[in-house]
A and B are shown apart, each in its own frame.
Chain A
Amino acid sequence: MFPKRLRSTLHLALVMAVVAFGAHASDTANGARYQKLSHAIMCPCGCNQLLGECNHVGCPDSDKMRGQLAASIDHGDDDTAIFRAFQDEYGPTALAAPMFTRFNQFSWWVPPMVLLLGIGGVFFVVRRWRPRAVAMPIPASDPHRLVLEQRIRRETGGDSL
Chain B
Amino acid sequence: MPVFGSFSLLLALALCGYTLLAGAFALRQLAIRARTRISPERLAETARRAGIASFFATSAAAFALVWAAFTNDFSVSYILHHSNRALPGPYKFAALWSGQEGSLLLWAWLLATYGFVLRLRHKVDVRLTAYASTILAGVQVFFLLLLNFAAPPFALVQGAAPADGFGLNPLLQYPEMVIHPPMLYLGYVGFTVPFAFALGALMMRYPGEKWIHITRRWTMVTWLFLTCGIFLGAHWAYSVLGWGGYWAWDPVENASLMPWLTGTAFLHSVMMQEKRGMMKNWNVWLIFSTFMLSILGTLLTRSGLVSSVHAFAQSSIGSWFYAFLFIVLVVCIFTFILQRDHLKSDHKIESLVSRESSFLFNNLIFLAACFTILWGTLFPVLSEYVQGSKVTVGAPWYNRIAVPIGLGLLALMGLGPLLAWRSSSLRSIRRNFVLPCIATITTAVALLAIGERPWQDQGPLYSFVAFSVAAGVITAISSEFLRGAHVLKVQTGRNIFAATLLLIQRNTRRYGGYIVHFGVVVIFIGLAGSAFNRSTEQEMDFRQSMQVGPYTLVCQDYTQDTNPNYDSEYALLDVYRNGKKVTQLAPEKRFYVASQQVSTMVANHSTLVWDLYVIYAGQNPDTNHPIIKVFLNPLVAWIWIGVVIVILGTLVALVPNLTTVLSPARARHRAKGSARPLVSEPATLRGGD
CB within 8 Å of B: which residues of A? 36, 39-40, 42, 47-50, 53-58, 91-98, 102-104, 106-108, 110-112, 114-115, 118-119, 121-123, 125-126, 129-130, 132-133, 155-161
Within the complex, the shortest CB–CB distance from B475 to chain A, in Å, comes to 16
Q: A42-B394, A160-B428 are in contact. Are A130 and B351 (CB under 8 A)?
A: yes
In the complex, chain A residues whose CB is within 8 Å of the CB of B490: 155
Are A129 and B349 closer than 8 Å at their CB atoms?
yes
Are A96 and B392 closer than 8 Å at their CB atoms?
yes
Query: What are 17 residue pairs bridging A and B, where the CB atoms are less than 8 Å apart in the complex?
Result: A36-B457, A47-B309, A48-B250, A49-B243, A50-B395, A57-B617, A92-B390, A95-B391, A97-B396, A97-B400, A107-B391, A112-B401, A122-B360, A130-B348, A133-B347, A155-B491, A158-B483
Are A53 and B375 closer than 8 Å at their CB atoms?
no
- Stretch of B8-16, B86-94, B128-136, B365-373 on the interface side: B365-373
What 8 pairs between A and B have smallest CB-CB spacing?
Answer: A96-B394, A97-B397, A129-B348, A53-B243, A111-B372, A97-B396, A115-B368, A133-B350
Partner of B387, one of A102, A110, A114: A102
Are B618 and A57 closer than 8 Å at their CB atoms?
yes
Q: A53-B244, A103-B383, A158-B431 are in contact. Are A93 and B390 (CB under 8 A)?
A: yes
Q: Mark B375-399, 1 if CB is under 8 A from A, else 0.
A: 1100110010011011111111100
Are A133 and B349 closer than 8 Å at their CB atoms?
yes
Interface flag for B172 (CB, 8 Å): no
In the complex, chain B residues whose CB is within 8 Å of the CB of A123: 352
- Stretch of B326-334, B419-427, B440-448 on the interface side: B419-427
Interface flag for B487 (CB, 8 Å): yes
Q: A92-B390, A96-B395 are in contact. Are A130 and B428 (CB under 8 A)?
A: no
Q: A133-B350, A157-B483 are in contact. Are A98 and B360 (CB under 8 A)?
A: no
19 further contact pairs, Cβ within 8 A, besides A39-B395, A92-B390: A55-B615, A55-B629, A57-B589, A57-B598, A92-B389, A93-B380, A102-B387, A103-B383, A104-B387, A107-B383, A108-B401, A111-B371, A111-B372, A111-B375, A114-B368, A129-B348, A130-B350, A157-B486, A160-B420
Within the complex, the shortest CB–CB distance from B406 to chain A, in Å, comes to 12
In the complex, chain A residues whose CB is within 8 Å of the CB of B376: 107, 111
Q: How far is the CA of A58 from the CA of B589 in the complex (A)?
A: 13
Interface flag for B308 (CB, 8 Å): yes
Within the complex, the shortest CB–CB distance from B536 to chain A, in Å, comes to 11
In the complex, chain A residues whose CB is within 8 Å of the CB of B245: 53
Are B242 and A48 closer than 8 Å at their CB atoms?
no
Closest to A114 in B: B371
Are B386 and A103 closer than 8 Å at their CB atoms?
yes
In the complex, chain B residues whose CB is within 8 Å of the CB of A40: 396
In the complex, chain A residues whose CB is within 8 Å of the CB of B427: 158-159
Interface flag for B298 (CB, 8 Å): no
Closest to B569 in A: A57
Interface flag for B336 (CB, 8 Å): no
Within the complex, the shortest CB–CB distance from B586 to chain A, in Å, comes to 17
Are B349 and A125 closer than 8 Å at their CB atoms?
yes
Q: How far is the CA of A133 from the CA of B349 in the complex (A)?
A: 7
Q: How far is the CA of A133 from the CA of B661 in the complex (A)?
A: 37
Q: Mark B460-496, 1 if CB is under 8 A from A, else 0.
A: 0000000000000000000000010011001100000
In the complex, chain A residues whose CB is within 8 Å of the CB of B349: 125-126, 129-130, 133
In the complex, chain B residues whose CB is within 8 Å of the CB of A91: 389
Q: How far is the CA of A155 from the CA of B250 in the complex (A)?
A: 51
Q: How far is the CA of A107 from the CA of B308 in the complex (A)?
A: 19
Q: How far is the CA of A150 from the CA of B330 in the complex (A)?
A: 55
Are A48 and B307 closer than 8 Å at their CB atoms?
yes
Within the complex, the shortest CB–CB distance from A91 to chain B, in Å, comes to 7
Interface flag for B248 (CB, 8 Å): yes
Interface flag for B155 (CB, 8 Å): no
Partner of B424, one of A133, A157, A160: A160
In the complex, chain A residues whose CB is within 8 Å of the CB of B352: 123, 126, 130
Q: For A103, A114, A157, A160, which residue has the most chain B Cβ atoms within 10 angstroms?
A: A160
Interface of A is mostly: helix
Q: How far is the CA of A55 from the CA of B347 in the complex (A)?
A: 57
Partner of B391, one of A56, A93, A129: A93
Q: Mark B603-632, 1 if CB is under 8 A from A, else 0.
A: 000000000000101100000000001000
Partner of B394, one of A50, A58, A118: A50
Are A98 and B390 closer than 8 Å at their CB atoms?
no
Interface flag for B405 (CB, 8 Å): yes
Closest to A91 in B: B389
In the complex, chain B residues whose CB is within 8 Å of the CB of A108: 397, 400-401
Within the complex, the shortest CB–CB distance from B614 to chain A, in Å, comes to 12
Closest to B386 in A: A103
Closest to B432 in A: A158
In the complex, chain B residues whose CB is within 8 Å of the CB of A158: 427-428, 431-432, 483
Are A55 and B348 closer than 8 Å at their CB atoms?
no
Q: How far is the CA of A66 from the CA of B94 in the complex (A)?
A: 37
Q: How far is the CA of A126 from the CA of B350 in the complex (A)?
A: 8
In the complex, chain A residues whose CB is within 8 Å of the CB of B393: 97-98, 107
In the complex, chain A residues whose CB is within 8 Å of the CB of B335: none
Q: How far is the CA of A97 from the CA of B396 in the complex (A)?
A: 6
Q: How far is the CA of A78 from the CA of B617 in the complex (A)?
A: 31
Partner of B392, one of A95, A122, A132: A95
In the complex, chain A residues whose CB is within 8 Å of the CB of B351: 126, 130
Within the complex, the shortest CB–CB distance from A39 to chain B, in Å, comes to 7
In the complex, chain B residues whose CB is within 8 Å of the CB of A47: 309
Q: A112-B401, A132-B348 are in contact. Are A96 and B396 (CB under 8 A)?
A: yes
Are A107 and B428 closer than 8 Å at their CB atoms?
no
Q: For A57, A58, A132, which residue has the most chain B Cβ atoms within 10 angstroms?
A: A57
Are B428 and A96 closer than 8 Å at their CB atoms?
no
In the complex, chain A residues whose CB is within 8 Å of the CB of B432: 158
In the complex, chain B residues whose CB is within 8 Å of the CB of A110: 375
Are A104 and B425 closer than 8 Å at their CB atoms?
no
Interface flag for B54 (CB, 8 Å): no
In the complex, chain A residues whose CB is within 8 Å of the CB of B368: 111, 114-115, 118
Interface flag for B364 (CB, 8 Å): yes
Q: How far is the CA of A96 from the CA of B486 in the complex (A)?
A: 52
In the complex, chain A residues whose CB is within 8 Å of the CB of B309: 47-48
Partner of B401, one of A56, A58, A96, A111: A111
Q: How far is the CA of A34 from the CA of B417 in the complex (A)?
A: 44
Interface flag for B58 (CB, 8 Å): no
Interface flag for B361 (CB, 8 Å): yes
In the complex, chain B residues whose CB is within 8 Å of the CB of A112: 401
Q: How far is the CA of A92 from the CA of B600 in the complex (A)?
A: 29
Q: How far is the CA of A119 from the CA of B362 in the complex (A)?
A: 11
Q: A108-B401, A110-B375 are in contact. Are A122 and B428 (CB under 8 A)?
A: no
Partner of A122, one of B350, B364, B396, B487: B364
Q: How far is the CA of A94 from the CA of B250 in the complex (A)?
A: 15
Interface flag for B552 (CB, 8 Å): no
In the complex, chain B residues whose CB is within 8 Å of the CB of A119: 361, 364
In the complex, chain B residues whose CB is within 8 Å of the CB of A58: 618
Interface flag for B357 (CB, 8 Å): yes
In the complex, chain A residues whose CB is within 8 Å of the CB of B405: 111, 115
